[in-house]
Structure 1
Amino acid sequence: MLLAQDGSDYPFLDLMWTMIVFFAWVIWFWLLITILGDLFRRADISGWGKAGWTLLVVFLPFLGVLLYLVVHGKQMGERRRAEAQEAQQHFDDYVRSVATPQPRATEQIAKAKELLDRGAIDDTEYEALKRKALAT
């Protein structure tokens, strides 16, 4: 017969140690995923190099991760910074392209009238441009 255990059988220091071990595992897996993600995004390492680092990280995890951080740690940060700057630049370009103000209807009609006066368009084209400008 199983006896129910109450919370008093698990001392506070054991609880703290369990929490430390849990968070250490979370950090470990986060570090492992970060390193593997960096490794497979790199274009300067061949497939054999990636396979070798992967085998080292999987079969000798602590040694592999520490070696990768020592050998490529600084470059990891530089690559992440470059990727973030590139993503920010793409976002800024997109926002600028979307936020560019459209010419007002009066400006469009004035340009159409100028084209009409120069003879570049006829009356029907002018009226079509005017309707289009007023519709927006």
Structure 2
Amino acid sequence: MSGDAVSLAYDYPVLGAFWTIMWIFLWVMWIFLIFRVIVDLFRDDDLSGWAKTGWLIFVLVLPFLGVFVYLIARGRGMGKREQEHARAQLESTNRYIRETVGATGPVSEAEQLAHLSEVRARGDLTDEEFRRAKEKILHA
């Protein structure tokens, strides 16, 4: 063993598996970070189209340097932009829910009676049918 270089990963297979998992984890995190920077670039309304293009080229051509410079220069605002986007999404969802529930929600007795009167005025209901439907609405 005096002249041979010994690699611990080959002597201990568990250590080799650990290093492999660690490198895979680091690459997944790196790819996630690149996508996060690109999404933040396109989400930012303060940057012009030329500035977004410049940052995108910088991040794609020199990824390590581009991402690290972007994080140093604009990293502070990334969290704020993410929060604004989440807040806008929540407001949009809440507005949609309110509109949907409002359109299909329970109809009040007054609305039901007004609709019943319109149907009677068109001649689609007889006086007896109108009376029975009105009693059914009022006693329900």
1:110 match: 113
More displaced stretch, 16-25 vs 44-53: 44-53
Q: What is the distance in 1 between the residues matched to 2:27 and 2:11?
A: 25
1:125 match: 122
Q: What is the distance in 2 between the residues matched to 1:122 and 1:55?
A: 65
Q: How far does residue 91 in structure 1 lie from its aligned partner after superposition?
A: 0.7
1:88 match: 90
Q: How far does residue 24 in structure 1 lie from its aligned partner after superposition?
A: 0.4
Q: 1:103 to 1:13 in 2, by over 3 A?
A: same
More displaced stretch, 67-76 vs 20-29: 67-76
Q: 1:112 to 1:47 in 2, by over 3 A?
A: closer
Q: How far does residue 46 in structure 1 lie from its aligned partner after superposition?
A: 2.0
Residue by residue, what CA displacement relative to the aligned partner does 1:46-87 show, whole Å, maximum 9, x if unpaired? 222122212221222212111111111121111110111111
**RMSD (Å) for aligned C-alpha atoms:** 2.9
Q: 1:29 to 1:110 in 2, by over 3 A?
A: same
2:51 match: 49
Q: 1:122 to 1:63 in 2, by over 3 A?
A: closer
Q: How far does residue 122 in structure 1 lie from its aligned partner after superposition?
A: 9.7
Describe the SS at the equivalent of 2:45. Answer: coil
2:40 match: 38
Q: What is the distance in 1 between the residues matched to 2:26 and 2:45?
A: 31
Q: How far does residue 9 in structure 1 lie from its aligned partner after superposition?
A: 6.9
Q: 1:28 to 1:112 in 2, by over 3 A?
A: closer
Q: What is the distance in 2 between the residues matched to 1:42 and 1:85?
A: 15
Q: How far does residue 94 in structure 1 lie from its aligned partner after superposition?
A: 1.2
Per the normalisation by structure 2, the TM-score is: 0.68
Q: 1:122 to 1:82 in 2, by over 3 A?
A: closer
Residue by residue, what CA displacement relative to the aligned partner does 1:110-134 show, whole Å, maximum 9, x if unpaired? 3367xx6xxxx79533756x6xx99
Residue by residue, what CA displacement relative to the aligned partner does 1:17-69 show, whole Å, maximum 9, x if unpaired? 11101110000011101111111232222222122212221222212111111
Identity %: 32
